[in-house]
A = this chain, B = another copy of it.
Amino acid sequence: MSRASDRAYSHIRSMILSGELQPGLQIREEALAELCGVSRTPVRDALRRLEAELFIRRNESQRSFVADWSLDDLEEAFQLRAMLEAYAAKRAATRISWDQLARLRSHNEAIKQAISAATPEIPKFLDHNRHFHSLIMEASGSARLSGMLAQVTEQPVVMRTALQYDLENLRRSHHEHEELVMAFNNRDGEWAAAVMTAHIRRAFHAYADAHARGTEMGKAGEAA
């Protein structure tokens, strides 16, 4: 990670994830080069990678912009995610090791603690949630599948969806994770896949509902 292009990649990526570079913003290679303290060459390299990962979009004339996801885009991404993760869960059910299963339980236990606190510890929830899901991908034993899923989940909007959860949805997440563990424990791929599908789709609707509430006032208030 000491190569200049790697530094540029990480730097730009984290600026996008943190919101420092806002969706829709045009980004110029030279400006990024100065921000990263390298020349344009490694910046271009990093931009190509980020473009492949859907962090960056380019228009017809090759100008780069921070990706801006519409609600439709997000729904499409969540549908793909539901399909991919359900498939991964199905595969994982027959491949997961006892050790992995134990780690799954411990992450979900940590999630329980995070949401049982007086004030829910969202960062802790997010962290263990991420580990929980990536452990399932690992157990599914398909590098290509993991790569595809990353394309639709490692995006600022997608990662921010959980911030919209109320306590009710946090609890539901925990319980669905419990049921996934049960399905894995029984080596029941169909069960695991069904629970995972429901889990992801509920997550999307929790976000969509909160989002609708945030931008409500009917169709008139969308510009506000």
Q: Once the chains are docked, how many angstroms separate the CA of A76 from the CA of B91?
A: 12
A148 interface residue (CB < 8 Å to B): yes
A151 interface residue (CB < 8 Å to B): yes
**Nearest chain B CB to A52 CB, angstrom units:** 4
Q: Which of B44, B76, B142, B148 contacts A151 (CB 8 A)?
A: B148
Whether A80 and B49, one on each chain, are in contact in the complex, defined by CB atoms closer than 8 angstroms, is no
Q: Which of B49, B142, B145 contacts A48 (CB 8 A)?
A: B49
Copy number in the complex reads 2
Minimum CB distance partner of A44 in chain B: B45
Whether A76 and B152, one on each chain, are in contact in the complex, defined by CB atoms closer than 8 angstroms, is no
Chain A contact residues, majority secondary structure: helix
Whether B145 and A80, one on each chain, are in contact in the complex, defined by CB atoms closer than 8 angstroms, is yes
When each residue 203-221 of chain A gets 1 if its CB lies under 8 Å from chain B and 0 otherwise, what string results? 0000000000000000000
Residues of chain B lying within 8 A (CB to CB) of residue A76: 142, 144-145
A101 interface residue (CB < 8 Å to B): no
Q: Once the chains are docked, how many angstroms separate the CA of A158 from the CA of B77?
A: 26
Residues of chain B lying within 8 A (CB to CB) of residue A77: 144
Residues of chain B lying within 8 A (CB to CB) of residue A44: 45
Q: Which of B79, B142, B151 contacts A80 (CB 8 A)?
A: B142
When each residue 57-73 of chain A gets 1 if its CB lies under 8 Å from chain B and 0 otherwise, what string results? 00000000000000000
Residues of chain B lying within 8 A (CB to CB) of residue A83: 83, 87
**Nearest chain B CB to A85 CB, angstrom units:** 12
Whether B48 and A80, one on each chain, are in contact in the complex, defined by CB atoms closer than 8 angstroms, is no
Q: Once the chains are docked, how many angstroms separate the CA of A14 from the CA of B135?
A: 38
Q: Once the chains are docked, how many angstroms separate the CA of A215 from the CA of B152?
A: 39
**Nearest chain B CB to A137 CB, angstrom units:** 13
Q: Once the chains are docked, how many angstroms separate the CA of A48 from the CA of B44?
A: 11
**Nearest chain B CB to A201 CB, angstrom units:** 14
Question: Which are the 3 A-B pairs with shortest beta-carbon distances?
Answer: A52-B52, A48-B48, A148-B148
